Amino acid sequence: MVLYVDVVDVCNLKCPTCIRGTRLLPNSATTMPLDDFERIAVKAKREGFTTVGLFNWTEPFLAPHLEKYLAIVKKLGMGTGISSNLSIRRIDNLEAVLAHTDGLLVSVSGLDQQVYEINHVGGRVDYILANLEKISELKRAGRIHTHVNIKFIEFDYNTGEREKLRDLSRRLGLGFEVMPGVGHPVKWTIGRHDEELRQKLASYSTERPYEKPGEVCPLLFEHVVLDCNGDIYECCAYGNYDFMKIGQYLELSPEEILLRRYQHPVCNSCSWPRRAATEEEKDMLARSMLHRLSASNSVAASPVDDFVIVGQV
């Protein structure tokens, strides 16, 4: 299971297909204190998380002393990952950061500057290339062992850039992957995203229309996401809006976190593809319900299988 943590609250680009890029999530100067992050990482390790990714809706290389956050995670024996646009003129701690990073994803949408900036507004291809060249040199010299993938975000207008980026990846000795773009930077942007979510909240129903009996959303069991204040949000598929907030990670048990996310109105009405629940997942949901009932002293402890929630999932 992965814990995604934005240790800063800022991104340098203005991508129209991203809620941070459109500033629906406005940039701020907030940075998570290192000691708060350490407490979060220790709790995550205790709760069985295997990896901490220092990204979600921000640019991690804008975090001062990013390598110190990653070093805490590595010292605890967990995996680390970051995702970056690498469109930064100068990254003085690039080697120090990657020395503590297992995996780096570099998101791009073209090698031609005019094509790239259609989606990655405000970005510079020459900055990306300079940083990629430096990373490649560090890997060849054996100074870092980070697995690096160039992730090409593909839209209908930039398909001609795919092979250019694949060739670049080969030349630099880096990995390459293609991800279909969500939305469209010209035809459809994410500007009404928060309004759509509010409509889902307003039309809330206790029914789960996209979920058959015995099914669950895999995102509930694959990750938990935090902002730079240590607040949990519903999942990585939606933004860090106030109405998507679950609570403070350091103050909640894993059982309460899971149940709050499962019961959130947006989760109820979300169309993300479901799959069959495993026996372990059914048990986790049932025990989460037991935990809340026990904490509130509203009922005596009962066998797990007596709860309706098991039949629902």
304 within a domain of the structure (yes/no): yes
**At 291, is the pLDDT very low, low, confident or very high (cuts 50, 70, 90)?**
confident
Pairing of β 223-226 and β 2-5: parallel
Are 181 and 155 a contacting pair, CB within 8 Å?
A: yes
Which range of residues forms the domain containing residue 38? 2-191
Q: Is the pLDDT of residue 311 over 50?
A: no
Considering the domain architecture, whether residues 146 and 202 belong to the same structural domain is answered as: no
How many helices and strands, by DSSP H and E, does the chain display? 12, 11
Considering the domain architecture, whether residues 120 and 135 belong to the same structural domain is answered as: yes
**What is the reported pLDDT for 202?**
65
Question: How long, in residues, is the chain?
Answer: 313
**What is the reported pLDDT for 196?**
67
Considering the domain architecture, whether residues 184 and 257 belong to the same structural domain is answered as: no
> In this predicted model, what pLDDT tens digit does every residue of 99-111 receive, in sequence order?
999 999 999 999 9
Considering the domain architecture, whether residues 309 and 180 belong to the same structural domain is answered as: no
Which pair of tokens denotes residue 94? Answer: 């690039």
> In this predicted model, what pLDDT tens digit does every residue of 43-75 receive, in sequence order?
999 999 999 999 999 999 999 999 999 999 999
Considering the domain architecture, whether residues 107 and 167 belong to the same structural domain is answered as: yes
Measured distance CA(64)–CA(58) in Å, rounded: 13
**At 313, is the pLDDT very low, low, confident or very high (cuts 50, 70, 90)?**
very low
Residue linked to tokens 């690039």: 94
244 within a domain of the structure (yes/no): no
The listed range with the strongest mean pLDDT (94-98, 260-264, 309-313) is: 94-98
Considering the domain architecture, whether residues 168 and 87 belong to the same structural domain is answered as: yes
Q: How many domains does the chain have?
A: 2
Instruction: List the one residue out of 42, 67, 45 whose CA is nearest residue 54.
Output: 67
Give the dihedral sign, CA 301/305/306/311: positive
Considering the domain architecture, whether residues 286 and 306 belong to the same structural domain is answered as: yes
Mean residue pLDDT of the chain comes to 90
Are 88 and 127 a contacting pair, CB within 8 Å?
A: yes
Mean pLDDT (whole number) for 269-282:
90
> In this predicted model, what pLDDT tens digit does every residue of 222-243 receive, in sequence order?
999 999 999 999 988 888 888 8
248 within a domain of the structure (yes/no): no
In degrees, to the nearest 5, what angle opens at C-alpha 102 toward C-alphas 273 and 247? 50
For residue 207, how many other CB atoms are within 10 A of its CB?
Answer: 9
Considering the domain architecture, whether residues 89 and 133 belong to the same structural domain is answered as: yes
